[in-house]
Structure 1
Amino acid sequence: MNTAFQGQYELILEARAALLDYCATLRPADFTAPVPVFNNSSMRDLLVHVAGAYTVWLGEVGLRREVQRPAASRVPDVAAVRALFTEVDALLTDFMRHYASRWQEPMLFDFSRQAKTLTLMPLQLFTHVVTHEFHHKGQVLSMSRQLGYMPVDTDVIRF
């Protein structure tokens, strides 16, 4: 496996852990509460959406597996979100092993949900899901602020 990408994912795991540790301090009802300015999504909903993106892009598209997107209704709390991301971590390990020496090799990937075939590098799939996670991580923190909380630093480099 490529140790640079493993190292990068370790940093992502630490940042994700900081976010989930923070979410565990919130009232459970607030964690699952719809936030109107975010299209009535909850913090939980966005985190499940992020896990689903990893599942689809790395599992279905990247590894050509039949996958099911996780349903937010089956993920009631932060502990269940952590469990969901444990599955994502295993998927990412499989993805890294599968493409260990071909990160920058253009390949054809079927995106059946859109009936499209895309020419992508595995590096693009990895980068897509990671940047997607960080985009929504910021939204989760903004949602918590909307609900009256003071977000913590969840960046890769934290002070």
Structure 2
Amino acid sequence: MDRYSSLIAYHNWANRNTFDQVKSLSTSEFEQHLGGSFPSLKLTITHLLISDWMWLNRWQGNSKVTIPADWDTSTVGSIEAIWRPIQEKIEHYFQADLTARLEETVTFIAVSTGDTYTVPLWQTINHVANHGTYHRGQITNMVRMLGYQPVKTDLFIFYNEENKRE
């Protein structure tokens, strides 16, 4: 697996592990406002879901991406029903060796500003991995605030698990 495919695999692995812990919490804990850029676990998880959706679509050539109006993100179960297939599509998209594609460009319109960007694929992969790590760190803090031990999602742990499989 090349390093960029590995970063995507890590991103999905860490999101799944984080989500598996979050879905074991009560609804009140899931929705409790604890602070941060997205003040609850529900809102932070939903942001990660939306980000994965947007990047998958951008990678597939859709420069202007909107959130489907029929999405139900009201419960942990409804979020999982939307997010798991997106993660599978991302994994499928990056299954092939990316070496020859890394300099291909991705053009997209930022939802927040309306600005248009054109950047190499490899930069978007680094961004997605970094962005996900940032928000999973916020989730880790929220889980601790609720009195639980958060799951470990360090990149080193992912690599260690992958090395054991080889």
Which deviates the most, 109-118 or 62-71? 62-71
State the Cα RMSD in Å: 3.2
Cα distance in 2 for partners of 1:39, 1:119 equals 26
* SS at structure 2 position matched to 1:104: coil
* SS at structure 2 position matched to 1:74: coil
Q: Name the aligned partner's letter for residue 75 of structure 2.
A: D
Q: Which runs of 5+ in 2 are unaligned?
A: 161-166
Report the CA distance between 1:61 and its aligned residue: 6.7
Q: Which residue of 2 aligns with 1:54?
A: 52
Q: Which residue of 2 aligns with 1:16?
A: 15
TM-score (structure 2 length as normaliser): 0.72
Contact 2:32 2:40 in 1 (8 A): yes
Report the CA distance between 1:50 and its aligned residue: 1.2
Which deviates the most, 59-68 or 48-57? 59-68
Cα deviation code 1:1-50 (max 9, x no counterpart): xx323343333333222212211222221012222x32562111111101
Which deviates the most, 140-149 or 53-62? 53-62
Q: Name the aligned partner's letter for residue 145 of structure 2.
A: Q
Contact 1:34 1:42 in 2 (8 A): yes
Q: Which residue of 1 aligns with 2:163?
A: none
Q: Which runs of 5+ in 1 are unaligned?
A: none
Contact 1:58 1:126 in 2 (8 A): no
Q: Name the aligned partner's letter for residue 134 of structure 1.
A: T
Q: Say if 1:144 and 1:97 are closer, same or farther in 2 by CA, change over 3 A.
A: closer
> Size of the alignment, in residue pairs?
154
Contact 1:104 1:122 in 2 (8 A): yes
Report the CA distance between 1:70 and its aligned residue: 6.2
Q: Name the aligned partner's letter for residue 26 of structure 1.
A: L
Which deviates the most, 6-15 or 115-124? 6-15
Out of 75, 83, 91, the residue aligned to residue 73 of structure 2 is: 75
Contact 1:55 1:91 in 2 (8 A): no
2:18 pairs with 1:38: no
Q: Say if 1:97 and 1:131 are closer, same or farther in 2 by CA, change over 3 A.
A: same
Report the CA distance between 1:135 and its aligned residue: 0.6
Contact 2:7 2:126 in 1 (8 A): no
